[in-house]
Amino acid sequence: MNKKYLYIETFGCQMNVHDSEQMAVLLEPSGYTLTDDAQKADLILINGCSIREKAEQKAFSELGRLIRLKEKKPELIVGFAGCLAQHLGRKVYSRVRNVDLVFGTHNIHRLPEMISACEQERKKITQTNFSSKITSLNIFAPPLHGSISSFVSIMQGCDNYCAYCVVPYLRGPEMSRTPDDVIVEIQKLVESGIKEVTLLGQNVNSYGRKLQQECNFVSLIKKINDIDGLERIRFTTSHPRDLSDDLIDCFASVPKLCEHIHMAVQSGSDHILKQMNRGYTAEDFLEKVEKLRHVCPHISITSDIIVGFPGETQEDYQATIDLMEKIRFDLLFSFKYSARAGTAAQKLPDDVPTDEKNRRLKDLQALQNIHTQEKHTALEGSVQEVLVEGRSRNSEQDMMGRARSWKIVNFKGTPETIGQRINVEITRGYLHSLRGKIKEN
């Protein structure tokens, strides 16, 4: 078989990153090897995200740039994938004419047949139908050589219908994989050298709700904790409304579970939270944070916030700032609201002017930087367990890994430490990372 090259560009969330890994694995038997040079590619896949307008624009501008490679290489196949492709279907062709293949999140497992049809027939293929099974998630993607950490999807889709969000329309209804499938996948990953897994789902707290066998997220975590050779467990993302006391207790009682939770608050205003259909108040959220900190005092808490949701007044925005001041997140991902087609919020007037959205976002991010820096400075002098992932990007002599809190730690070290959990004394807390030195026992 001829050696062929595959170039994948991924936008958006960790689900998309994981989907791209699966695409690469599925195409290996068809002779495709991954390359990071688009010029060399025989097949280019753009895995686009549609969650926010900006992500959509970025994916299209990349598609526009990469499709031009066809001028010099007409046999090049270009595919558009992910939830953005799911959303737009055939409309992709009216925006970028020369695309060969458009396929959605439920059709990844069909990729080899779709590519073979493209190669042989050179006709456009569109596959964006939903499946009632979760076939795509059960593709095993062996980790890249030398990887220490891997994502594992435990569910797909979402039933929450937050007013601003397209995910339920594009990734379909929530479906959980069986615990056996998840466990077998993790065992295989561990055999291939993986030490840390991040369990992925739009709302992991509701894992198992529709499974025939009795298994909720807490029992799944406990089963995973028993896997020999696995050293760390993480998960993302949690809906605050569904965060149970049992799950909170896991941060104290399940040894491999790392002390970090990503839990999107979205707003600190009860009025806006109601409009967003989030199902909790700012006070409820604060209570969950207090419980988490009571059970696990050093837990790192990260979150998402949207500014400029329809109807957000200066008072609503101030309520978000007040909540941030009370909680002091370790890290925050913040976004300007953008209306998405088909969502409930799209029907509301997008009435916060762009300049005002920009100002709110800028001020909120400046405040968050203060909080993050404060947290990182407070860690100076502490000893953190670091799972070493590889060389640091900053310097040849430095290695990097993550503390249990998910914070990046750089330190002077040698590649022999890769894959090991070592103790590092933090010498300096920067805004985006920590610096430390190996603590000799």
Where does this chain bind ligand 5AD (CB under 6 A)?
51-52, 164-165, 264, 266, 304, 306, 335, 337-338, 340
Which pair of tokens denotes residue 243?
């965060």
Q: Least distance to ligand SF4 from the beta carbon of 164, Å?
A: 7
Spatial separation of the C-alpha atoms in residues 304 and 307, rounded to whole Å: 10
Spatial separation of the C-alpha atoms in residues 166 and 380, rounded to whole Å: 41
76 SS3 class: coil
Spatial separation of the C-alpha atoms in residues 300 and 321, rounded to whole Å: 19
User: Please, what sign has the CA dihedral across residues 364, 368, 369, 371?
Assistant: positive
Indicate the residue among 141 and 163 with the shorter CB distance to ligand 5AD.
Answer: 163
User: Please, what sign has the CA dihedral across residues 385, 184, 202, 112?
Assistant: positive
- Indicate which single residue of 49, 84, 115, 162 sits in contact with ligand SF4 (rule: CB under 6 A): 162
Q: Least distance to ligand SF4 from the beta carbon of 113, Å?
A: 29
**End-to-end Cα distance, the chain:** 53
Q: Least distance to ligand 5AD from the beta carbon of 337, Å?
A: 5
Q: Which long-range contacts (CB under 8 A, 24 or more apart) does 289-296 make?
A: 289/327, 291/245, 291/248, 292/248, 292/251, 292/261, 295/248, 295/249, 295/251, 295/252, 296/248, 296/251, 296/252, 296/259
**Residue 203 binds which entry of ligand SF4, ligand 5AD, none, with Cβ cut-offs from 5 to 8 Å by kind?**
ligand SF4
**Residue 338 binds which entry of ligand SF4, ligand 5AD, none, with Cβ cut-offs from 5 to 8 Å by kind?**
ligand 5AD
Q: Which stretch binds ligand SF4 (CB under 6 A): 83-91, 164-172, 242-250, 360-368?
A: 164-172
* Residue 275 within binding range of ligand SF4, rule CB under 6 A: no
Q: Which residue, chain included where needed, has tokens 């409930």?
A: 344
Indicate the residue among 45 and 134 with the shorter CB distance to ligand SF4.
Answer: 134
Q: Least distance to ligand 5AD from the beta carbon of 164, Å?
A: 4
Q: Least distance to ligand 5AD from the beta carbon of 347, Å?
A: 13
- Indicate which single residue of 59, 84, 165, 426 sits in contact with ligand SF4 (rule: CB under 6 A): 165
Q: Which long-range contacts (CB under 8 A, 24 or more apart) does 364-371 make?
A: 364/305, 364/307, 364/320, 364/321, 364/324, 364/332, 364/334, 365/332, 365/334, 367/321, 367/324, 367/325, 368/324, 368/329, 368/331, 368/332, 368/334, 369/431, 371/324, 371/328, 371/329, 371/330, 371/332
- Indicate which single residue of 82, 168, 201, 268 sits in contact with ligand SF4 (rule: CB under 6 A): 168
- Binding letters toward ligand SF4, positions 293-312, x by CB under 6 A: --------------------
**Residue 337 binds which entry of ligand SF4, ligand 5AD, none, with Cβ cut-offs from 5 to 8 Å by kind?**
ligand 5AD
* Residue 239 within binding range of ligand SF4, rule CB under 6 A: yes
Q: Which stretch binds ligand SF4 (CB under 6 A): 28-36, 67-75, 158-166, 334-342?
A: 158-166
**Residue 340 binds which entry of ligand 5AD, ligand SF4, none, with Cβ cut-offs from 5 to 8 Å by kind?**
ligand 5AD
**Residue 5 binds which entry of ligand 5AD, ligand SF4, none, with Cβ cut-offs from 5 to 8 Å by kind?**
none
Q: Which stretch binds ligand SF4 (CB under 6 A): 31-39, 159-167, 192-200, 249-257?
A: 159-167
* Residue 352 within binding range of ligand SF4, rule CB under 6 A: no
* Residue 202 within binding range of ligand SF4, rule CB under 6 A: yes
Task: List, in order, residues 6 or more apart from 111 with CB less than 8 Å away.
Answer: 23, 26, 27, 103
Q: Least distance to ligand 5AD from the beta carbon of 306, Å?
A: 4
DSSP assignment of 143-176: PPTT--EEEEE-EE------TT--HHHHS-S-EE
* Contact residues for ligand SF4, defined by CB under 6 A: 158, 160-162, 165, 167-168, 202-203, 239
